[in-house]
């Protein structure tokens, strides 16, 4: 489908999505945005070839697909403000963490296609992972378009049960921060053993990057990949045994559980507003 797209809020995540769409061949003149940060408008227009507006209603009225990229605590006010110009044939894609589809449907005030997404920040470098779920008004053609849009800056999975979006948040949306923290500790350990910061950073980060590439590109189970580099009584075994002794399994499980629990709390808070 050749559609006119509007972005309500054009921050980092919106820029990542727009960049992916443009790289995949979408024309800049098919994209509009709306933002209160007027000083950013010339830069965005020059970078993407898009048109920026200050009035959300204007942007929404001329679009077929509307990406909602404002902060979750502001979303209700923003949506209810432009709701009078919403058309039944439009598709709304939300990237607001924790905001449930039922809330969006209530704020839009009429039956309309809605997709809730949970992308993550690696989208900024074309390596994003997004969880997606659609409401009953969303057609197969619209879902196909959304899939292609999100694949333009990474990959995606569709979720059938909205409750599982909390797990998506824990395993993907928030997860880059877990890996950043692990990298920080590894780099610090390398420095403590005598390496300079740049060398320690490069060794640790490329090891993580390479491990992720092996998991996604090689047709082998993760546990087999781990066994392939774990020689009996070798260096890797010593490290892995220490991780297990220190409780890596319970630690990471607790972190994922805490993230999902907080996501559930936020969802209830927005639903009760």
pLDDT tens string 123-142: 999 999 999 999 999 999 99
- Three-class secondary structure assignment of the chain: CCCCEEEECCCHHHHHHHHHHHHCCCCHHHEEEECCCHHHHHHHHHHHCCEEECCHHHHHHCCCEEEECCCHHHHHHHHHHHHHHCCCCCEEEECCCCCCHHHHHHHHCCCCEEEEEECCHHHHHCCEEEEEEECCCCCHHHHHHHHHHHHCCEEEEECCCHHHHHHHHHHHHCHHHHHHHHHHHHHHHHHHCCCCHHHHHHHHHHHHHHHHHHHHHCCCCHHHHHHHCCCCCCHHHHHHHHHHHCCHHHHHHHHHHHHHHHHHHHHHHHHCC
Q: With left for phi above 0 and alpha for psi between -120 and 50, is residue 88 left, alpha or beta?
A: alpha
Average pLDDT over residues 107-120: 95
Residue 162, class by beta-carbon neighbours within 10 Å (0-12 exposed, 13-18 middle, 19+ buried)? middle
pLDDT at residue 208 greater than cutoff 80 = yes
CATH class of 173-267: mainly alpha
Q: In what order do the strands lie in the sheet with 154-158?
A: 51-53, 31-34, 5-8, 65-68, 91-94, 113-118, 128-134, 154-158
**pLDDT bracket for residue 98 (50, 70, 90):** confident
Task: Compute the mean pLDDT over every residue in the chain, rounded to the nearest whole number.
Answer: 94
Average pLDDT over residues 253-269: 90
Average pLDDT over residues 78-86: 96
pLDDT at residue 1 greater than cutoff 60 = no
Question: CA angle at residue 56 from 269 to 1, to 5 degrees?
Answer: 95
Residue 269's pLDDT is what? 76
User: How large a percentage of the chain has pLDDT more than 70?
Assistant: 99
| Domain segments of the chain as ranges | 5-165, 173-267
pLDDT tens string 24-33: 889 999 999 9
**pLDDT bracket for residue 257 (50, 70, 90):** very high
Q: Which residues are registered as beta bridge partners of 5?
A: 31, 65
| Per-residue CA distances from 129 to 120, 265, 272 (Å) | 6, 23, 29
| Per-residue CA distances from 89 to 42, 92, 103, 137 (Å) | 31, 10, 19, 10
Here the tokens at position 117 are: 């997404």
Residue 273's pLDDT is what? 63
Average pLDDT over residues 197-213: 97
The matching CATH number, chosen from 3.90.1150.10, 3.40.50.720, 3.40.50.2030, 3.40.50.300, for 5-165 is: 3.40.50.720
Average pLDDT over residues 108-115: 96
- Which residue from 173, 178, 71, 67 is spatially nearest to 120, judged by alpha carbons? 173
């Amino acid at each position: 489908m050749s559609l006119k797209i509007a972005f309500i809020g054009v921050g980092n995540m919106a820029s990542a999505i727009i960049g992916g769409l443009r790289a995949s061949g979408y024309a800049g003149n098919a994209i509009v945005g709306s933002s209160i940060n007027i000083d950013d408008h010339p830069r965005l227009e020059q970078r993407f070839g898009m048109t920026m507006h200050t009035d959300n209603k204007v942007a929404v009225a001329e679009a077929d697909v509307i990406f909602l990229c404002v902060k979750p605590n502001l979303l209700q006010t923003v949506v209810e403000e432009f709701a009078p110009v919403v058309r039944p044939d439009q598709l709304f894609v939300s990237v607001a963490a924790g905001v449930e589809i039922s809330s969006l449907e209530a704020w839009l005030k009429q039956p309309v296609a809605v997709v809730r997404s949970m992308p993550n920040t690696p989208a900024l470098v074309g390596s994003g992972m997004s969880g997606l779920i659609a409401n009953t008004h969303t057609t197969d053609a619209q879902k196909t378009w959304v899939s292609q849009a999100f694949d333009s800056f990474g990959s995606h999975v569709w979720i059938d049960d909205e409750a599982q979006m909390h797990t998506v948040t824990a395993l993907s949306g928030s997860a880059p921060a877990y890996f950043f923290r692990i990298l920080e500790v590894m780099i610090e350990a390398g420095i403590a053993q005598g390496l300079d910061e740049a060398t320690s950073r490069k060794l640790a980060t490329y090891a993580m990057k390479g491990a992720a590439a092996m998991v996604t590109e090689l047709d082998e189970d993760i546990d087999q990949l781990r066994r392939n580099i774990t020689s009996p009584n070798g260096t890797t075994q010593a490290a892995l045994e220490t991780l297990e002794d220190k409780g890596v399994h319970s630690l990471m499980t607790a972190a994922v559980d805490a993230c999902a629990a907080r996501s559930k709390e936020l969802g209830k808070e927005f639903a009760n507003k």
